[in-house]
Amino acid sequence: MSKSAIRVIALAAALPAIAVTAYAANPKVGGAPMYETRNIVENAVNSKDHTTLVAAVKAAGLVGTLEGKGPFTVFAPTNEAFSALPKGAVDDLLKPENKAQLTKVLTCHVVAANALSTAIGKMIKDDKGAHDVKTVGGCVLKARESMGKITLTDENGNVAHVTIADVRQSNGVIHVVDKVLLPKM
């Protein structure tokens, strides 16, 4: 066998390894690894930064939905984001009698699509700097990009920053945000 044939075989054998290393692994969220083979709920329950969100999803009865086929894009507020709401707001939302309102708040963080940050960035650029994002809860968020980071403005003017983007799931993607986005009050 010639040296050039050996080089071709060696290159062909190396290509799969190069392709695997070129693919970015999911970032950790809340100190926990996030697995592309798990759904949104299966990953979220492991994040120490999303215990309030997980409790809210359970209280709203949305676990089955977010474990479903999707695809979903979830803008996932951290515990700190929930803590920034007015005192007592989270406790009130978690009460059984406020389930409809809680569901509305949570579904204003969910889009029925698999939208990675590059796709969102392209939509923002195509729309000359701001793109309307329609959520499954009926809210319209305004997506913008600043210095390579995506922000979302809710219908009340609250601005959330995507702090961790593109956490791939088996049924969509999570983007961690630093504010709770609220429906029009």
Highest CATH level, class, for 27-177: mainly beta
Confidence of residue 1 (pLDDT cuts 50, 70, 90): low
Q: Is the pLDDT of residue 17 over 80?
A: no
What's the predicted TM-score (pTM) here? Answer: 0.85
Query: What integer pLDDT is reported at residue 146 of this predicted model?
Result: 85
- Which residues have C-beta within 8 Å of that of residue 114, sequence separation ≥ 6? 70, 71, 72, 73, 172, 173
Query: Is a pLDDT exceeding 80 seen at residue 119?
Result: yes
In tens, the pLDDT along 56-109 reads 999 999 999 999 999 999 999 999 999 999 999 999 999 999 999 999 999 999
pLDDT of residue 122: 95
- Domain-wise residue ranges, the chain: 27-177
Give the phi and the psi of residue 23 in degrees, each rounded to 5: -80, 125
Give residue 21's pLDDT. Answer: 38
Cβ–Cβ under 8 Å, residues 174 and 70: no
User: Rounded to whole angstroms, how far apart are CA atoms 76 and 176?
Assistant: 5
- For 147-177, the pLDDT digits (tens) are 889 999 999 999 999 999 999 999 999 999 9
Contacts of 178 (CB under 8 A, 6+ apart): 77, 78, 80, 81, 160, 161, 163
Taking each helix axis from N to C end, the angle separating 99-107 and 51-60, rounded to the nearest 10 degrees, works out to: 120
For residues 123 and 119, give the distance between their C-alpha atoms in angstroms, rounded to a whole number.
6
- As to burial, measured by CB atoms within 10 angstroms (0-12 exposed, 13-18 middle, 19+ buried), residue 68 is middle
Cβ–Cβ under 8 Å, residues 53 and 76: yes
Assess whether pLDDT exceeds 90 at residue 15. Answer: no
Q: How far apart are CA 57 and CA 43, in angstroms?
A: 13
Mean pLDDT, rounded, for 12-38: 68
